[in-house]
């Protein structure tokens, strides 16, 4: 107890009056943050509030324009991440910093002090790693290639990378955004062990229940300024939400009853085999009609991505038929599906939905670039793209300096909103929305979900693919559960309990119900 | 009896023809794997060929020539590095610019230095070194009676492989070409690593050029490299950016070149211009056949300048 107290007297991290500007825009203004060893400190705020920027300042990636940083009471100034790492600060970025073509062990030892400077023996390095791995009970194949790993495993590699460097402060920028519920549980256990060892964790998340569960204190940012720091135990979820957004958040929607119309998407006996012959979609039959939202629930990686790809024409089915808005588009090009009235909000918006080096306006014009108002009589009018972009920026509350800013200067959540806005703006007959609220703050999540409901009420057919069960249940008219490429069942939200759905998501039949309840630690 | 000497001759000629290309492609491995479009190899080689010749002709020592080529190669590579890494200009364009510059400046200077008629001949060159015992092996013995450049070039292949795949530095180089930001966030200096890789490429490619002028020919003429830098680049791509693959690519060209020369001396019915073209055609065909596969193996950050934007 005594030791603990003396340790906790001086914060390990003390950021004082930090201001960071990009041009004239203040992403952080006068923010102070102190973090103690042994605590998990949550950093909360809407999209673009300045969370990532503040952490990049701490990590030495950005130089603050004003303010000081103290480490164990000593003033420091980092000019690069190398300094931060040498001072035992590690950061796991919102977008993973792993090299997909290299193995796990190579990624971990990259730029670290290896046994020999002149000879790289992966076996020896693996042995050195197993100690940490066993200590925290990771299950990971060190010789696997990173591109073959699931996102959850990739994240463990990121954590290992930092533990291997003996990090005392671990910054995690939205670590749970891409994880399945089980993986989140595993992560939380690891994080607890890390802080019990005397480390500190700074944890960024938009999911308030996670913040309530895992964090000891929370600092809330709004518009680049600090609102306050609170003890999480003294607050409710609603308190945190109000401090973040400055208004009430309900996450409860009105869904008017309407007439269901023509089928806009029909899949009949669709099967898909992967390149190495493994069956990834098994006999999928589904129909989505005008004016309804069909939710696809399931843990990530159970065929959701492939389902979307098949409908979009990005992958060819092995058998079965796909119909978009009544026309047979089986194995047609993506363009055909789009011409039939399909819009697709892809899951990985960094890789597939956007071009990060292009401006916001250009990204918005991208798919419809050959149509009015962007192109008139064969000539592209950038000013029209800017006008549309400007309107969408207001409508979707996209925070960027201007519509001519490059996509990669936007915060993670705002990049997502640009893609969402573009696809919905096209007013498609059929919309595939994959993880539409991933990475969005609660305010934006609320407005996106409301928007999807409004579009459905106007008669759009929507296929909602989401690993967030709350989201699926909140807005879908019907729900199917996908497990290992197979539909496990269909129900109407409210018909089944959470536990029942959870079991469907793991492929367990009802008889096993009592034996396979996944425990919460 | 006759075919035996032919085989011996072709083997030795293949190794000799492959030498300049090997230097260039091993250098190119460093620049390409760290994320650069390595169009510049041709220009670096040409500069190296010229400086090697000048050094040897002026001082009277081929070793001084090789040293001068190496230094010159590093200097010209810094020009590329500055424009590509620091100024973030288009790497293909800078590469082509350097190649055109190298062609112009070497053609010009060789005339300024030596006039038209009286270029020095009989300059000091790297002569063949006969390795005892090995050189007596039947058929392949001819491979052990070659000059220092050739021995070094072939030794470079395992060395470069070791550096790239078996040292921490090599891991960092490969990582920089795939995902520079990841290296940056781990405290690596992406800019410095990239500069060093380009300098290695400059040094090795220039030595490859010198291997032509003061290793093979004992002479310098305008455009002496005649596209060999591009062939080295092609071999790299064909070889999926690995030392072994590049070696195979280079050997295909070297072999085609050796056969082509044989045919010329044997007095073929085909016009000699056609024969000279042959190795290039073969290399291009091989490249096209394999190009589809090799796209996936190119470093992900190829041609992309790095900036942290702070
Ligand atoms: N390199 C940059 N150049 C210009 N503006 C930037 C740059 N990086 C961030 N910004 C701006 O600074 C603001 C804060 O961005 P930051 O990434 O810190 O937000 P965030 O709180 O992490 O949001 P999210 O939850 O969406 O990830 C945003 O408005 C963003 O547009
Ligand atoms: Mg962020």
Q: What is the per-residue pLDDT for A464?
A: 96
Q: What is the per-residue pLDDT for B288?
A: 74
CATH classification of the domain holding B101: 1.10.3470
By C-alpha distance, the chain A residue nearest B183 is A111
- Arithmetic mean of pLDDT, A268-295: 90
Whether residue B304 is contained in a domain is answered as: no
Alpha-carbon span A225 to A19, nearest angstrom: 9
Answer whether A83 touches B (CB < 8 Å): yes
Whether residue A346 is contained in a domain is answered as: no
* pLDDT (tens digit per residue) in A126-150: 888 888 888 888 888 999 999 888 7
A363 and A459 together in one domain: no
Q: What is the per-residue pLDDT for B296?
A: 59
Whether residue A7 is contained in a domain is answered as: no
Whether residue B309 is contained in a domain is answered as: no
A97, B178: Cβ pair inside 8 Å? no
* pLDDT (tens digit per residue) in A255-274: 888 888 899 999 999 999 87
* pLDDT (tens digit per residue) in A7-34: 457 899 999 999 999 988 899 999 999 9
Q: What is the per-residue pLDDT for A6?
A: 44
DSSP output for A384-414: HHHHHHHHHHHHTT---S-TTSBGGGS-HHH
User: Nearest to residue A182, comparing CAs of A212, A155, A162?
Assistant: A155
B166, A102: Cβ pair inside 8 Å? no
HSE-up of A294 (CA within 13 Å, CB side)?
A: 23
Whether residue B303 is contained in a domain is answered as: no
Q: What is the per-residue pLDDT for A283?
A: 92
Task: Name the residue range of residue A333's domain.
Answer: 250-341+428-521
Whether residue B182 is contained in a domain is answered as: yes
A216 and A355 together in one domain: no
Q: What is the per-residue pLDDT for B39?
A: 95
* pLDDT (tens digit per residue) in A63-87: 999 999 999 999 999 988 999 999 9
Alpha-carbon span B201 to B38, nearest angstrom: 9
Where chain B has pLDDT below 50, the residues are: 1, 310
A83 and A181 together in one domain: yes
Number of structural domains, chain A? 3
> How confident is the prediction for chain A on average, in pLDDT?
87
- Arithmetic mean of pLDDT, A111-116: 80
Task: Name the residue range of residue B179's domain.
Answer: 2-297
Q: What is the per-residue pLDDT for A517?
A: 39
Whether residue A1 is contained in a domain is answered as: no
Least confident interval from A182-196, A239-253, B218-232: A239-253
| CB B205, CB B28: distance < 8 Å | yes
Whether residue A8 is contained in a domain is answered as: no
A355 and A402 together in one domain: yes
Whether residue B307 is contained in a domain is answered as: no
What are the pocket residues of ligand 1 if the criterion is a CB atom closer than 6 Å to any ligand atom? A 22, 25, 27, 45, 47-53, 94, 399-400, 409-414; B 309
Give me the interface pTM, i.e. the ipTM. 0.87
Could you tell me the pTM of the whole model? 0.81
Q: What is the per-residue pLDDT for A95?
A: 81
A443 and A375 together in one domain: no
A420 and A432 together in one domain: no
- Which residues of A are less than 8 Å from B179 in CB distance? 97-100
Dihedral Cα A416, A181, A300, A363, nearest 10 deg: 0
A382 and A504 together in one domain: no
A120, B181: Cβ pair inside 8 Å? no
Whether residue A161 is contained in a domain is answered as: yes
Whether residue A167 is contained in a domain is answered as: yes
Q: What is the per-residue pLDDT for A520?
A: 38
For A85, which of B169, B183, B186 is closest by C-beta distance? B186
Of A198, A215, A245, the last residue of a domain is A245
Q: Give A449 Cα–ligand 2 centroid separation in angstroms.
A: 21
Whether residue B227 is contained in a domain is answered as: yes
CATH classification of the domain holding A118: 3.40.50.300
Of A382, A397, A426, the last residue of a domain is A426
A74 and A177 together in one domain: yes
Strand partners, B23: none
A114, B168: Cβ pair inside 8 Å? yes
């Amino acid at each position: 107890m005594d030791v603990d107290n003396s340790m906790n007297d001086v914060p390990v991290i003390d950021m004082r009056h930090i201001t960071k500007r990009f041009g004239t825009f203040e992403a952080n203004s006068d923010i102070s943050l102190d973090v103690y060893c042994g605590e998990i400190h949550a950093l909360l705020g809407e999209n673009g509030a300045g969370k990532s920027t503040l952490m990049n300042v701490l990590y030495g990636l950005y130089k603050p324009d004003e303010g000081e940083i103290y480490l164990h009471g000593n003033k420091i100034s980092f000019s690069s991440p190398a300094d931060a790492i040498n001072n035992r600060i590690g950061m796991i970025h919102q977008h993973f910093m792993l090299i997909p073509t290299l193995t796990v062990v190579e990624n971990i030892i990259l730029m670290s002090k290896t046994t020999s400077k002149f000879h790289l023996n992966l076996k020896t390095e693996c042995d050195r790693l197993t100690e940490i791995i066993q200590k925290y009970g990771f299950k990971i194949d060190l010789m696997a290639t990173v591109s073959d790993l699931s996102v959850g495993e990739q994240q463990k590699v990121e954590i290992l990378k930092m533990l291997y460097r003996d990090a005392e402060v671990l910054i995690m920028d939205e670590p749970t955004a891409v994880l399945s519920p089980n993986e989140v549980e595993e992560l939380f256990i690891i994080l607890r062990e890390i802080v019990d060892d005397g480390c500190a964790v700074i944890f960024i998340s938009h999911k308030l229940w996670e913040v309530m569960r895992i964090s000891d204190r929370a600092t809330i940012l709004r518009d680049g300024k600090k609102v306050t720091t609170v003890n999480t135990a003294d607050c409710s979820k609603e308190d945190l939400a109000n401090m973040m957004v400055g208004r009430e958040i309900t996450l409860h929607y009105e869904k008017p009853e309407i007439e269901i119309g023509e089928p806009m998407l029909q899949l009949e006996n669709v099967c898909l085999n992967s390149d190495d012959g493994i069956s990834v979609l098994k006999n999928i039959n589904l129909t989505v009609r005008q004016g309804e939202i069909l939710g696809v629930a399931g843990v990530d990686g159970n065929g959701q991505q492939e389902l979307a790809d098949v409908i979009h024409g990005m992958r060819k089915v092995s058998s079965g038929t796909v119909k978009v808005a009544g026309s047979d588009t089986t194995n047609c090009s993506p363009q055909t599906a789009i011409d039939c009235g399909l819009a697709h909000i892809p899951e990985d918006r960094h890789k597939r939905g956007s071009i990060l080096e292009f401006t916001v306006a250009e990204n918005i014009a991208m798919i419809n670039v050959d149509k009015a108002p962007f192109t008139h009589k064969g000539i592209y009018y950038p000013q029209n793209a800017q006008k549309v972009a400007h309107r969408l920026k207001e409508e979707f509350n996209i925070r960027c300096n201007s519509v001519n800013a490059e996509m990669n200067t936007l915060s993670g959540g705002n990049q997502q909103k640009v893609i969402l806005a573009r696809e919905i703006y096209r007013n498609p007959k059929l919309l595939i929305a994959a993880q539409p609220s991933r990475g969005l703050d609660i305010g934006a999540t609320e407005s996106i979900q409301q928007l999807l409901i409004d579009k459905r009420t106007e008669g759009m057919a929507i296929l909602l693919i989401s690993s967030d069960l709350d989201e699926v249940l909140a807005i879908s008219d019907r729900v199917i559960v996908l497990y290992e490429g197979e539909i496990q069942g269909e129900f109407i939200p409210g018909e089944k309990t959470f536990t029942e759905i959870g079991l469907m998501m793991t492929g367990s039949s009802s008889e096993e119900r009592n034996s396979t309840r996944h425990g919460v630690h | 009896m006759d075919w035996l000497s032919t085989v011996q001759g072709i083997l030795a000629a293949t190794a000799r023809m492959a030498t300049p290309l090997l230097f260039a492609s091993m250098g190119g491995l460093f620049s390409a794997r760290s994320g650069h479009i390595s169009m510049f190899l041709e220009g670096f080689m040409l500069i190296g060929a010229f400086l090697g010749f000048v050094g040897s002709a002026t001082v009277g020592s081929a070793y001084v020539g090789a040293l001068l080529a190496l230094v010159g190669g590093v200097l010209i590579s810094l020009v590329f590095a500055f424009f590509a890494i620091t100024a973030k200009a288009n790497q293909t364009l800078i590469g082509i610019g350097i190649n055109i510059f190298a062609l112009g400046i070497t053609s010009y200077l060789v005339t300024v230095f030596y006039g038209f008629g009286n270029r020095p001949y009989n300059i000091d060159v790297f002569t063949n070194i006969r390795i005892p015992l090995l050189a007596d092996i039947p058929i392949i013995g001819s491979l052990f009676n070659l000059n220092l450049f050739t021995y070094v070039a072939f030794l470079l292949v395992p060395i470069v492989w070791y550096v790239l795949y078996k040292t921490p530095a090599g891991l960092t180089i490969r990582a920089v070409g795939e995902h520079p930001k990841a290296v940056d966030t781990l405290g690596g200096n992406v800019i410095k690593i990239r500069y060093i890789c380009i300098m290695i490429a400059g040094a090795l490619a220039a030595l490859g050029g010198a291997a032509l002028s003061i290793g093979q020919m004992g002479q310098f003429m305008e455009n002496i490299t005649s596209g060999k830098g591009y062939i080295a680049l092609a071999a790299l791509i064909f070889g999926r950016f690995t030392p072994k693959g590049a070696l195979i690519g280079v050997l295909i060209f070297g072999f085609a070149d050796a056969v082509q020369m044989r045919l010329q001396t044997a007095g073929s019915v085909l016009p000699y211009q056609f024969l000279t073209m042959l190795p290039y055609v073969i290399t291009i065909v091989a490249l096209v056949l394999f190009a589809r596969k090799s796209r996936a193996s190119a470093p992900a950050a190829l041609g992309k300048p790095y900036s942290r934007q702070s």
